[in-house]
Each structure stands twice: as structure tokens, then as C-alpha cells.
Structure 1
Amino acid sequence: MLIVFRNNPNDIAKENIAYLKDRILINEGKKQLFGTQFITNKQNNKLTPRPIKDIKNLEKRRKEYNLPLFLDYLEMAKSHNSKQIKNIG
């Protein structure tokens, strides 16, 4: 995976780099590194993370990129997803 920055890479928030890396990896059919990408089961509307590489070191990677703890992020994502589903329904 190659990411080219047109501007100074220090101008880009590290957490945004993590989201972009995960999105690219998932779209390439690979496992994500930071656990930022989820999928919603259409039958029960349950939000689950897409596959994560080296889950043992997930929190270490998240911390390096200024991301919240994974379980906190998961709860936030579930809450956001639930609100979206209610707005659609």
C-alpha cells in the first residue's frame, strides 16, 4: 500500500491516516490494522468489525494513531449506527 501526500504529511491527523489505511486494506481484500471499518448485518442490523490483522497488538496501533480504545470506539459506532437505522426506518 502506497500513500502519497501532496501536502506536508504532518498536516494530516494521524487518526485520519489510520481510517484511510484501513479503508484501502479492506478494499484490497486484506485485513484492516486499526479496526475502524465495520459492516452491518442486513438481517439483524448488528454492527461488526471487518477482519482485523494482528488483533493482539490492536490497542498499541490505535494508541500510536491517537484512536480511542477499540471497545469504546465499537460502542460509539454501534450508537451512531443505531441512530441512523432509526432515522431510515
Structure 2
Amino acid sequence: MAGVIAEIGDRVEGWSVGDRAAVGWLGGSCGHCAFCRVGDVVHCPERKAPGLSYPGGWARSITVPPMRSHASPTSSTSSTPPRSAARA
């Protein structure tokens, strides 16, 4: 999914309202279980995914962990990208 950041949480650094961002299919993991410690985050019992753990690509807006957001190119085939918010 890709869009334009509409809101930023108080503790989010490195992002600004209006930045273009993309979010992959993995929306987060705990970072400390046995799976995460060996880099196997898809098997983390606390993993999160857009569309399951929080609204996905069909939603009007989404809120995602900032560490799962990535800078997106300024050009796009879509003339009106979805709005998103990063919260921490």
C-alpha cells in the first residue's frame, strides 16, 4: 500500500505530514520471541498484518507503526493516493 501521511504521532521521528509512504504486508512483530531473534518474523505469535491487525489497502485511511513505513517515490500511477497516519 502507498499513500500520503496525513497525521504524525507525538513520538514519530523522520516523517512529516505530506510525505509519501509505502507499507509492506508485514505490519509488525514483537522483536523478542525466539522467531524474531533469528529473523523469522513471519512466525512471530504477535505479528501484525494490514487487513488483519489493522485496516488494509481498501480502507479510506490506515494507522501503521512508523518502523513499517518506507519512503515512497514522488511519482505514482495514481492521481490521488490514499491518506495514512503514522503513530507511535
TM-score by length of structure 2 reads 0.25
Asked which structure has the greater RCO (Cα within 8 Å, sep 6+), the reply is 2
**Which has a greater percent of strand?**
2
> Which is higher, the Rg of structure 1 or of structure 2?
1
**Which has a greater percent of helix?**
1
